[in-house]
Copies of this chain bind each other. A is one copy, B any other.
Amino acid sequence: MFSKACEYGIKASIFIAINSYNDNRVSPKEISAEINSPQAFTAKILQALVKHNIVNSVKGAYGGFEINKEDIAKIKLSQIVTAIDGDQLLHGCGLGFKVCDEEHPCSLHDQFVFIRNDLRNMLENTTLELLAKDIKSGVSFLKL
């Protein structure tokens, strides 16, 4: 479903959000330790999230990654997924056709559109705030 990079990106964003609520910047080292991901690869993914203005980075001593507190409730999972995996999953054809719509549907189109739309709605209605809260309250977890 999601690429490894995207899985890491989602987990990292949640961890950064949690820390940002406490005005605490985190490093790739802390992030990868927390979400159980390769450090250097995680750093690359963070760069992408910074480029897409999802995460903010501060260089130099006492720097690290953070998310504006006011933004945490606004950032949708769909933004993270699109930033890392592109928009094929949210908008593309299930059988990989370049063009596939009601007018010219692939064999799976009628069955697939509902799934894709539900997935997109879920990702567009799930904010970092929502995910971070469940972690903080101990309802869900970020690593084994």
**A105 is an interface residue with CB less than 8 A from chain B:** yes
Number of copies: 2
B-chain residues with CB within 8 Å of residue A58 when the two chains form the complex:
none
Question: How far does the alpha carbon of A119 sit from the alpha carbon of B111 in the complex, in Å?
Answer: 9
Known: A131-B107, A135-B107. A144 touches B97 (CB 8 A): yes
**Contact call A108/B126, Cβ cutoff below 8 A:** yes
Question: How far does the alpha carbon of A47 sit from the alpha carbon of B114 in the complex, in Å?
Answer: 31
**Contact call A115/B119, Cβ cutoff below 8 A:** yes
CB distance from A120 to the nearest CB of B (A): 10
By a beta-carbon cutoff of 8 Å, the part of chain A in contact with chain B is: 1-2, 4, 7, 10-11, 14, 77, 89, 92, 94-99, 104-112, 114-115, 118-119, 122, 126, 131, 134-135, 139-142, 144
